[in-house]
Structure 1
């Protein structure tokens, strides 16, 4: 913590009291360059009985500083009593600001650190004391410094407002931190669900396609059925391995264990070969000059293509699809076409299109998924390569 914040509220209250006390003495003696003191001392201000009143008030102020953090309202009551006692040897018509500085400091800390009701109670108590002091003098026929006391009351209100603002700022900061923490948890859950979906959905789609084909030809073409079962085993092992890696990273918090790099467009040929072996031929076309891409662009482009191919395998009812990747000057354009029957309706609980759109939106790109006029379905994504997107 900064050094000033390490000082407890009680210490600041004592410092305010002593500052007011020193100021009280200074304005009652002739300082260099003055013809006389700014304030006349009371009849027994410099006598032992006047100093005794000031000493008693100082003791109350120190007791209040000890109690301020644990019992704020009783502590403020002691400070207000000290302010009244300190006025006895001064010969003044009101409670001066110097004797009320400690009460102002206590008001600030109470409003800043205690509930709103406690702060309002403390402010009303301070204002009631000032009003009661003036009323007592007026009813007794003594002079009363009403104007000066209004200024002192205004300092009490200002001290409470500053403390109230500090408390509100702290509560707002706590709310922002809680919101940010909740958002971070939600984002992490979304990221995990997206990665799980992208890892599992494609493999399960390929496995289902291979298993269906193997079931149909197992009697007539056992060798081909055996190859399909081998591909199913390979896909299942790879998916299980990926899930274990992901769960391992989650379990260990990403520390102490190296995390294998995420797939990118360099792995696209292997994805196409796996899908082709499953019965859907994937043709990959690359346009423009190939160059390294930012990691988030590379991973997102691969995941979008993977999800689009998965949808072709599961829903299109076709044996071919085409993937086009175009490296442009300021963006990467991805397109997946098929000539199948397309999605007749959105699958219940489907995440694929929404997940692809979300990936593109996070990268400030554009995404479209729509049926083709000539039949089939088209998925297009444009991912900007600008510094802002990265």
Structure 2
């Protein structure tokens, strides 16, 4: 057996270790719950607010107050939760909203209102849509009253100033509602996926139970009958009795080989203690005692794979090698794991007699094809032009999850 490994393995392990020690502040900067578009708009508007203020700065005291307020807004942004929160982080959303509102009296000349809209959206994420709607209503009334009382505008002019705020706020709430609905559907899809995995495991166990009954059960039945015959023949026909004992011994060896094969099939990937190429190499090596000459190679620089992709690769190699032992009548089998930039390919080819004319894909290959499709890949199996049988799985390095 040969193994060709790239120099990426040690670097990958170090990168994973370093990411686990990432400072919490940097983790917040990469908060996956925060909508990316909101983050971009926030920093652009924050910079625009600061630039607009520099065009007509106030007194030194006003400059200090405005700078402190702007800095507080930036710090609170990093602390904001973007899901329904409990504990001390829940009031942060309200404090952030109030802080963006105070930018107006501090002299931002209404440029800060986009920050207030983002703060309202955050309230909807952290609390609920009803709370955000109530806040928009209250702010609309306050803006209208301030325009009439403090800025001495007429009711129609004040209404003209308030309506755009209401329109843009409704648009932001619409976007927020869409994001929340997408999150809900994604969570539901993940629950359904977990249920599908449970059913797949149950179906696989049922299949394996049936095959164990057919193979090991048959062997044990033959052993029992042979020993009973040997017991009957031990006095009258000693030669026949020893022949039955020999048959029972041979059958028990076959049953033991079957049992060992099923133990290999039931061993979880997580217990291998390795990932990707190393786990597949170890699995291939476990078939050395079956009479097969197994050669396994890894080509390209190995990259970290997602757990679902690793598991599909492991099961494909396991099923392919098991089928070679049971059906192919082959002496040699070659496995290749090829890493590309976006896809990883596993090919298992043997030099056996190929598929029989009346044969169909078994349950194992059909199930694996469905699992490969579920992670965005494909699995094909068929005869090779030069003879033998080949199983080929092409899977993405990264599984795309759409919400």
Question: Normalization by structure 2: what TM-score?
Answer: 0.50
Which position in structure 1 is the counterpart of 2:242?
226
Task: Select which of 248, 251, 255 maps to 1:239.
Answer: 255
Alignment of 1:4-83 (within 5 A): 7-8=29-30, 19-24=44-49, 46-48=58-60, 50-51=62-63, 54-55=66-67, 57-58=69-70, 60-62=72-74, 64-65=76-77, 67-69=79-81, 71-83=88-100
Residues in 1 aligned to 2:105 and 2:383: alpha-carbon distance in whole angstroms = 78
Which position in structure 2 is the counterpart of 1:201?
217
Which position in structure 2 is the counterpart of 1:38?
none
Q: CA deviation at 1:61?
A: 1.9
Residues in 2 aligned to 1:139 and 1:225: alpha-carbon distance in whole angstroms = 112
Alignment of 1:94-243 (within 5 A): 96=110, 98-106=111-119, 118-120=127-129, 123-124=132-133, 126-137=135-146, 140=149, 142=153, 143-144=157-158, 145-161=161-177, 163-165=179-181, 167-168=183-184, 171=187, 174-175=190-191, 178-179=194-195, 181-182=197-198, 185-186=201-202, 189-190=205-206, 192-214=208-230, 217-243=233-259
Task: Select which of 319, 332, 347 maps to 2:357.
Answer: 332
Larger radius of gyration, structure 1 or 2? 1
Of structures 1 and 2, the one scoring higher in RCO (CA 8 A, sep 6+) is: 2
Measured against aligned partners, the alpha-carbon deviations of 1:190-227 in whole angstroms (never above 9, x if no partner) come to 46435533431221232244345445545542321231
Q: 1:125 to 1:56 in 2, by over 3 A?
A: farther
Deviates more, 1:140-149 or 1:175-184: 175-184
Residues in 2 aligned to 1:156 and 1:385: alpha-carbon distance in whole angstroms = 57
Residues in 1 aligned to 2:43 and 2:364: alpha-carbon distance in whole angstroms = 63
Q: CA deviation at 1:151?
A: 3.3
Aligned residues: 278
Q: Do the aligned residues in 2 keep the contact of 1:203 with 1:236 (CA within 8 Å)?
A: yes
Q: Do the aligned residues in 2 keep the contact of 1:210 with 1:229 (CA within 8 Å)?
A: yes
SS in 1 for 2:357: strand
Residues in 1 aligned to 2:222 and 2:215: alpha-carbon distance in whole angstroms = 12
Segments of structure 2 that go 5 or more residues without pairing to the other structure are 1-18, 20-25, 82-86, 273-278, 292-319, 330-352, 370-380, 393-403
Which position in structure 1 is the counterpart of 2:306?
none
Segments of structure 1 that go 5 or more residues without pairing to the other structure are 31-40, 265-293, 304-326, 335-355, 365-382
The structure richer in helix per residue is 2
Alignment of 1:244-323 (within 5 A): 244=260, 246-247=262-263, 250=266, 253=271, 258-260=285-287, 301=327
Q: 1:228 to 1:28 in 2, by over 3 A?
A: closer
Alpha-carbon RMSD across the aligned residues, in angstroms, is: 5.1
Question: Normalization by structure 1: what TM-score?
Answer: 0.51
